[in-house]
Structure 1
């Protein structure tokens, strides 16, 4: 077996399409087909069931994938560690994170990290928290930073920061003069929220359900920035992390009111249990923890 054949096999197993696997590896479809045929000939087993629109692993293919996936992940870790030996914290760092964390928490940390370790190539991949979990499982990132809870037997999670969600509303809204509000007071007003299925939406639905209150969803929006703009022009109110609205609050464009009966949102580190943390990842997380500790003191 050759490494290129194993990489082609894993890509096809993930993508379930010869064309997509070829595109992922910057190869041609015939090249992927030859790699798979060579593996099947060597093993004497069919590894994929071919269908018109997709391919699927056979039982033999499933067994091979479990082992090859772990082998390739170990090789990537070895390459990263060797690169770190060649040059202080050289190499590559990939972080999976949500839009909110990427926009409002990470910029200053990334600036400091790039200043201290310019040789490290940093790759930030932002997505929904549930998809960040899959990135971690697929070894596409060194670790994830996402809203908890996220649970999977192959990953560990560790709370690195707790942030408060607050109500935002136009400055002339009836709730804007309140020093603090409750979910009972918020419930009658139309809410601008993240789409169903997101971790943030799930936490909000749980809080209203536990309070035995209806949640009046006026609109589903996929970005905090869009939510803030729509609230500003009077299309509804919303509940977002306080860290996301400091500029608007300071400029008087939005009212930001603490919510007394809403628990803090937990931001967590998500890692594969079997993955060894690289030197670059360790240095980044040290900066992250120092930054959030300072923020907690300031609060």
Structure 2
């Protein structure tokens, strides 16, 4: 067993195919595939399920992935301790729902990179279920999601609450409903409504809010960022966590505003998820610290305790 074989398997898992992994590692695809086959023969398990569409880690490979990652991290620490100048650049992979991108993720990444210029950070906008799967598979290191009252996270993941807020109506500046202190469900129902697509938490909340009597003029989109832009352009109104709008560039520019929902007491929490581990890698600990710090300073009245 060689360290290169372990790093090859981790790369295929991370990039989703032998071809993309070989391109990133600058190793020929046949050589990469053969190295992993020899590792499978030595361990006596099938590590990759190979299909025409690409290679995906097998269930047996998933069970071994964390020990493999631990070995690779230990090798990196050993090289660093020995002053090895060729230590491979680290990759930190963050998945986020759109609601956390502008207010938390990007400022935290900027702060992290100030002190970790050699670490490559990959940020992916994903739906919540995709974040759960990628964290479980080891293809993400950290994920930011929104949680409604009563929502549970998978037992193999651990959540760090960051922001606590309420669903709010998002309106274009100058809209007649901005004259009121709050917006009722009936008022929203009478407007063109921009909903998040199925799979997003706010899609689920919109159906809970409206019940069986949905707005007759209903648009849908992927993620909070596009939803806010559609509101700013006058395409319709939407409902988002208040913390995803406050401090947003469109809100700071005076193009969109929020109003609380009349009579609604729902609480939404933005949380950072990671796999349960005895010891978190230092990079994840550092990014979590930046996320908490950003939440406390950017939106102090909505930061989680």
Q: Secondary structure at the match of 1:125?
A: strand
2:69 matched to 1:73?
yes
1:276 to 276, 279, 292: 279
1:145 paired residue number: 144
Cα 1:213–1:134, aligned 2, differ >3 Å: closer, same or farther? same
Deviations 1:176-207 (A, max 9, x none): 21111222331222211221112332233233
Q: Secondary structure at the match of 2:259?
A: strand
Alignment of 1:203-282 (within 5 A): 203-209=205-211, 213-216=213-216, 218-243=218-243, 244=245, 246=247, 247-249=249-251, 251-260=253-262, 261=264, 263-274=266-277, 276-282=279-285
2:145–2:270 contact (8 Å) kept in structure 1: yes
1:289 paired residue number: 292
Q: Secondary structure at the match of 1:136?
A: helix
TM-fit CA distance, 1:132: 2.3
Aligned length: 290
1:34 paired residue number: 34
Once residues 13 and 299 of structure 2 are traced to their aligned partners in structure 1, the CA distance between those partners, rounded to angstroms, is: 44
After superposition, the CA RMSD in angstroms is 3.7
TM-score (structure 1 length as normaliser): 0.76
TM-score (structure 2 length as normaliser): 0.75
Once residues 78 and 172 of structure 1 are traced to their aligned partners in structure 2, the CA distance between those partners, rounded to angstroms, is: 57
Larger radius of gyration: 1
2:161 to 151, 159, 173: 159
2:96 paired residue number: 97
Q: Secondary structure at the match of 2:240?
A: strand
2:187 to 161, 185, 194: 185
1:127 paired residue number: 125
Q: Which runs of 5+ in 1 are unaligned?
A: none
2:183–2:259 contact (8 Å) kept in structure 1: yes
2:98–2:225 contact (8 Å) kept in structure 1: no
Cα 1:81–1:131, aligned 2, differ >3 Å: closer, same or farther? farther
After TM superposition, the structure 1 stretch with the greater mean CA deviation from structure 2, 75-84 or 139-148, is 75-84
Once residues 296 and 286 of structure 1 are traced to their aligned partners in structure 2, the CA distance between those partners, rounded to angstroms, is: 15
1:175 paired residue number: 177
Q: Secondary structure at the match of 2:178?
A: coil
1:191–1:237 contact (8 Å) kept in structure 2: yes
Q: Secondary structure at the match of 2:94?
A: strand
Q: Which runs of 5+ in 2 are unaligned?
A: 84-88
TM-fit CA distance, 1:109: 3.4
1:170–1:232 contact (8 Å) kept in structure 2: yes
Once residues 93 and 15 of structure 2 are traced to their aligned partners in structure 1, the CA distance between those partners, rounded to angstroms, is: 21
Deviations 1:128-174 (A, max 9, x none): 23222233223334322222246322112232211333212234433
Q: Secondary structure at the match of 1:146?
A: strand
Cα 1:137–1:50, aligned 2, differ >3 Å: closer, same or farther? closer
Cα 1:37–1:198, aligned 2, differ >3 Å: closer, same or farther? same
Once residues 159 and 49 of structure 1 are traced to their aligned partners in structure 2, the CA distance between those partners, rounded to angstroms, is: 35
Q: Secondary structure at the match of 2:119?
A: strand
